[in-house]
Amino acid sequence: MRDFKGRTAFVTGGASGIGLGLARAFLGLGMNVMLADIEAASLDRALVELGSHGDAVRGLVVDVADRQALEQAAAAAIAAFGRVHVLCNNAGVAVGGPQEKIAPADWNWILGVNLMGVVHGIQAFLPHIKAHGEGGHIVNTASMAGLHSAPMLGPYCASKFAVVALSEGLAGELTGSGVGVSVLCPGWVRTRIDQSGRNRPQGAAEASPAADTTMSRVFAELIQAGMDPAQVAECVLDAIRNDDLYIVTHPDMRGLVEERFRRIQAAFDRSAAREAAGRVPAAR
Ligand SMILES: NC(=O)c1ccc[n+]([C@@H]2O[C@H](COP(=O)([O-])OP(=O)(O)OC[C@H]3O[C@@H](n4cnc5c(N)ncnc54)[C@H](O)[C@@H]3O)[C@@H](O)[C@H]2O)c1
């Protein structure tokens, strides 16, 4: 997609952080933007801040984990702006803690928002984007945690690996359709993700007291020293223009992914060695 002016973007998690950065960038290119966020107060603040864009920006309170609510939000965005071209499935939350202690309520919360929120977005908008025929682009926000896994972030990494995987598959399904797919894998970005607990559903907190929704001080410091969301948005615009599947923002983190691949390749080498030694039959 190379023409942005007059087109419309729907951005989940649009009231804060990376989503708000994306909204500012799209508005700067003359797009319309529908912000969709679970936090009414943040949404109001964002709409005031973006007020100079007039009717080009609107907001909806929606929980992306709620399929029906997201379908209604999609219908409202289409009613407001006519056609939606860019979908940013960006809303996300995190908890930290040892996997043995994170309760099912927290697993359900993280997977419900970070994974099913993306699925709901795709299913609510893709038929519309295909049908209007003007082309479009889907940007799914994963993370570097979707390309390499870290201890103490089990549900978060699982959700982000899943978002990378479904984005890769979707890109294959949409080849030649005029709808591009990108998966955003940032490193540390200066946002409020370290305070995800503010949106934790009632019930999860009591069920999983060991989970750390404020995340550890180390994570919080890395996030607060992280990249400006405006820079992330620039990377996303480049990827939409060039139809790039993977968006990485932190070249210094390359080694983490390379190390993971090295370990996987070493496992293949061991497998080949077992076969060569005749310890297992050759694979067909
Ligand atoms: N900040 C980082 O370092 C970093 C790194 C990699 C990936 N990410 C990802 O970026 C995305 C955006 O997060 P951020 O860092 O800007 O954090 P943020 O907390 O500043 O923004 C996230 C937004 O999502 C909203 N949200 C939370 N649950 C929701 C729900 N159920 N429905 C709708 N909206 C909901 C929040 O209200 C908030 O406005 C997330 O998917 C996150 O996992 C962040």
The answer for residues whose C-beta is within 8 angstroms of residue 271's C-beta and 6 or more apart is none
User: Chain-wide mean pLDDT for the chain?
Assistant: 95
What phi and psi, each to the nearest 5 degrees, are found at residue 263?
-70, -35
Do 242 and 277 lie in a common domain?
no
Q: What is the pLDDT of residues 96-121, one digit of tens each?
A: 889 999 999 999 999 999 999 999 99
Do 72 and 141 lie in a common domain?
yes
Q: Is residue 3 part of a domain?
A: no
What pLDDT score was predicted for residue 283?
A: 77
Do 42 and 155 lie in a common domain?
yes
- Asked about 156 being catalytic, the answer comes back as yes
Q: Compute CA distances 235 → 31, 208, 229, whole Å.
A: 17, 36, 10
Does residue 195 sit in helix, strand or coil? Answer: helix
When divided into structural domains, the chain yields a total of: 2
Q: What is the pLDDT of residues 14-31, one digit of tens each?
A: 999 999 999 999 999 999
d(CA 43, CA 145): 27
* Whether the predicted pLDDT of 62 surpasses 70: yes
For the segment 167-174, the average pLDDT, to the nearest whole number, is 98
Q: Give the position, in ligand 1's atom list, of the atom nearest the Cα of 198.
A: 37
Do 265 and 225 lie in a common domain?
no
For the segment 242-263, the average pLDDT, to the nearest whole number, is 98
d(CA 253, CA 49): 33
Longest dimension (CA), the chain: 71
Do 279 and 218 lie in a common domain?
no
What pLDDT score was predicted for residue 215?
A: 58
Q: Compute CA distances 209 → 52, 67, 78, 195, whole Å.
A: 43, 28, 41, 16
User: Per-residue confidence at 45, pLDDT binned at 50, 70, 90?
Assistant: very high
Do 261 and 239 lie in a common domain?
no
* Whether the predicted pLDDT of 164 surpasses 70: yes
Catalytic residue among 4, 156, 161, 188: 156
Segments forming the whole domain that contains residue 284: 253-284
Q: What is the pLDDT of residues 125-145, one digit of tens each?
A: 999 999 999 999 999 999 999
Do 143 and 277 lie in a common domain?
no
CATH of the domain at 100: 3.40.50.720
User: Per-residue confidence at 280, pLDDT binned at 50, 70, 90?
Assistant: confident
Do 237 and 135 lie in a common domain?
yes
What pLDDT score was predicted for residue 206?
A: 65
What pLDDT score was predicted for residue 202?
A: 80
What phi and psi, each to the nearest 5 degrees, are found at residue 139?
-115, 115
Pocket test for ligand 1, best of 12, 22, 35, 38 (most atoms within 8 A of CB): 38
What pLDDT score was predicted for residue 70?
A: 98
Do 278 and 160 lie in a common domain?
no
174 lines ligand 1 (CB under 6 A): no
Helix, strand, coil % in the chain, rounded to nearest 5: 55, 15, 30
Neighbours of 28 (CB within 10 A): 13
Q: Is residue 2 part of a domain?
A: no
Query: What pTM value is reported for the model?
Result: 0.97
For the segment 247-252, the average pLDDT, to the nearest whole number, is 98
What pLDDT score was predicted for residue 167?
A: 99
Do 101 and 138 lie in a common domain?
yes
What phi and psi, each to the nearest 5 degrees, are found at residue 97?
145, 165
CA atoms within 13 A on the CB side of 143: 26
13 lines ligand 1 (CB under 6 A): yes
Report the length, in residues, of the chain. Answer: 284
For the segment 49-69, the average pLDDT, to the nearest whole number, is 98
